[in-house]
Chains A and B, each alone.
Chain A
Amino acid sequence: MSAFRIRCVAVAALFVATAATVAFADPPPAAQIKPRQDKLRDMGGALKAITDEIKKGRIDWDNAVIPNAQTVKDRSVYILNWFPKGSGPEAHVKTYALPAIWQKFDDFTKQGKQLQADAAKLQQVANAKDEAGLKAQVQTIGKTCKACHDPYRSPDYEKDNEE
């Protein structure tokens, strides 16, 4: 094979690799905002479904608690992927994510990992149909949500009526 042909193949390979990278690369950060909100809302809805069961005082494990704990757990696994750099207010898409997320990304990551651990535990107590454990874990996970929402989410979300 001549040096020229090798060079041609190399260039072609580079083109393919670049094209593939562009095609399969993460979508631009701004595109994360809407799906991120939808998924966080799913988690809120799932937690409501679980707290509803606790309030009723007669828990429907199979139809309500277990599937919703599964939702929380499944979503939590990906939560740290939803906040790429550039998906804050600078994206010019409506978001309550504060710049503090990216300024203190280590702390934010720590909080996200805490949620993942709590959500896994939530699923565990749900699957075990452990009522006392469920009540305690809902409290725990609530504190984790709040610990992250207080510093990293704009309180303006209460004022707007767009959800």
Chain B
Amino acid sequence: MFSMRTKRFIFLILIIVILACRPFTAQAVLSITAPTSATLTGKTVSIAAQTSTGVIGDSNNANLVGVKVSDDGTAGWTAVMTSTHFTTRSNKTKKLAGSNATVDFTGTYDGLDGVLDPNGIFKVEITTGGAVGTAVFKWWDPAGNLTSTVTTAASVVLSNGITVNFAAATYVVGDSWSAGVDVFPYTGLTVTPSDIYAESGSLTGVSKGSSEALSGTGATSDAKTIMTATAGNGIGIYWQDEDLSLSIHANSLSGSFTATVTLTVS
């Protein structure tokens, strides 16, 4: 296919290319790690708004705990975080009418209906009786939006991350169940990046983000900068703790509220 001369030429070019570039194992490595979980201080349900605090990392801002960014390149980098809303779904389905305790709600509520007073519910009501697959139901989302004429099934996706499950039973018209949901929106979550600790490398050109509440309108917040390294800086290993302050609305549901923070460096 190729002449020997051509082969030698290609081989030569490739050798030049390889030598011109850094060896593969020595390329710039930019990475981020973070604690797998963080718990905010628990509160008791109150008729007044409260504030809960926590930290991704710890209160010592000069140790090897927290969010870690490692880089051996010179391009600089930016570390940001996003968060979902803190949400809960009551793990106790309420039977509002009827005798069957065979309906359950599953899934993680996305919190997009916001803070509701009284707290939001997903509600299901049988409109045509029968077995699963025959019975028909209507349902309401936390905002009160009604969806009618849905056929039962072992699992039916409702909205906002929630699914309703119908176990085998004979369902009767008027049977009804609900599950409460609640949210502490991320717009009430103020993130305060701590001072940065350099395990190795210089802090020159490496700066922390400002203290601010997360913003956004989606299920996941807009990205918030926690630390940046300008071009030519940030070569090393850097640690930072993220202090969290969350607004807790009055008269919330009791239970465990969860959110997921995603930390990204690029």
| Genuine A/B complex | no
